[in-house]
Amino acid sequence: MSDRETLRLDFLKAAGLAEAVRVPLPGDASTRRYERLTPTSGPTLMLMDQAPAAESPPADPSWTPQQRQAAGWNAVARLSAGRIEAFTAVAGHLKSLGLSAPDIPALDAANGLAVLEDFGDALFARVIEDGADETPLYLAAIEALAVLHEAGTPPQTLHGPGGDWPMLTYDETALQGGADLFVEWLPKLDDRVSFDDAAIADWRAAWAPIVASGAAGATVMAHRDYHAENLIWLPRRDGAARVGMIDFQDAVRAHPSWDLHSLLQDARRDVSPALEAEALNRYFALRPDVDRAAFMADYAGLAGLNQARIIGIFARLIARDGKPRYRQFLPRMWRHLNANLEQLALAPVARWFDRHVPAEVRA
């Protein structure tokens, strides 16, 4: 038996769940794992297991960009390193706004273990695959985002059962660090491209205005992974609370467009242009004081940056980590990125792609 399994067993025993039946859930691209727990009585629960030692350290709010670079990837761009303490603190903030985050009946933050309320299996993506009309679900997700955004800038420090947690900002270092995954990893996946130092310098210069706007507009809490595989339909609840949120441990203070384009320009499923337009119209109707034209320029720019970032992540997962299943998502990400490159906000980036990435690669 591994040391980690011993920790899990001791934790479950202390939580009164020693006899619970444990069923592992499929893994994702992270070092985090989940199990569904069926106790001898009462509702099912979830065991969340995020070993702190499995990740490089989170960002310290006092660190300079150079110190963050030295500390590793999490300190540069992921910021929270997926820590359980971050999850519990963000959950409390979401619940304080009337949004649906899981209750946390048992916690061992030091060892990265938590027992969570089980929202069930009605992920938006699965419910839609089973024949539900996707429009009401997406509009409910927009309503939840509007509630989160209308709450304004989150506190600098969140308080949760795992202790205080800094609400870090998705700043220039994080945004550019994410974009740079593209130039670092795509050549390791596709030998039709290579980027020398001059090309990388031009890459960063092309993104600089978008990075600056994204950092300057970092005024709301962003879930940071807000899409149909991380939202659970809870139809017995009311309004925005019908949207069950999970996997928000990487939440940051960010531009309000971030979760919108994550939802509406999804890496894993197609969202029609008509539904994207209807969802955006609903968002602006719920937030009438927002300057739509300025917002949409940032939306296009940051969506393009995020898509370049995700292509870099998928290239890394395939080339370094031996996870070829992520190749299936690349054509969709290229379609999203190509569409955004047609927007005026990305004109310098589009010129860079025309010089350095052949059209046949972007397919």
Give the predicted TM-score (pTM) of the model. Answer: 0.94
Q: Please state the rounded mean pLDDT for residues 185-212.
A: 98
Q: In terms of Cα–Cα distance, which of 43, 45, 122, 117 is closest to 35?
A: 45
Overall size of the chain counted in residues:
363
What's the pLDDT at 331? 97
What is the pLDDT confidence band of residue 265, given thresholds at 50, 70 and 90? Answer: very high
For residue 123, what are the β-bridge partners?
232
CA 52/CA 49 separation, integer angstroms: 9
For residue 60, give the nearest of 48, 72, 49, 52 by alpha carbon. Answer: 72
The pLDDT value recorded for residue 55 is: 86
Does pLDDT of 362 surpass 90?
Answer: yes
Does the pLDDT value for residue 132 go beyond 80?
Answer: yes
Q: Residue 29 pLDDT more than 70?
A: no
Residue 299 confidence (pLDDT): 98
**For residues 347-360, average pLDDT:** 97
Answer whether 138's CB lies under 8 Å from 240's CB: no
pLDDT score of 2 more than 90: no
Q: Is the pLDDT of residue 295 over 90?
A: yes
Average pLDDT in the 281-297 region?
97
> How large is the average pLDDT for residues 261-288?
97
pLDDT band at 1 (very low <50, low <70, confident <90, very high): confident
Q: CA-to-CA distance for 223 and 201, rounded, in angstroms?
A: 30
- Kindly indicate the confidence band of residue 221, based on its pLDDT and cuts at 50, 70 and 90: very high
Tell me what the mean pLDDT of segment 98-107 comes to.
98
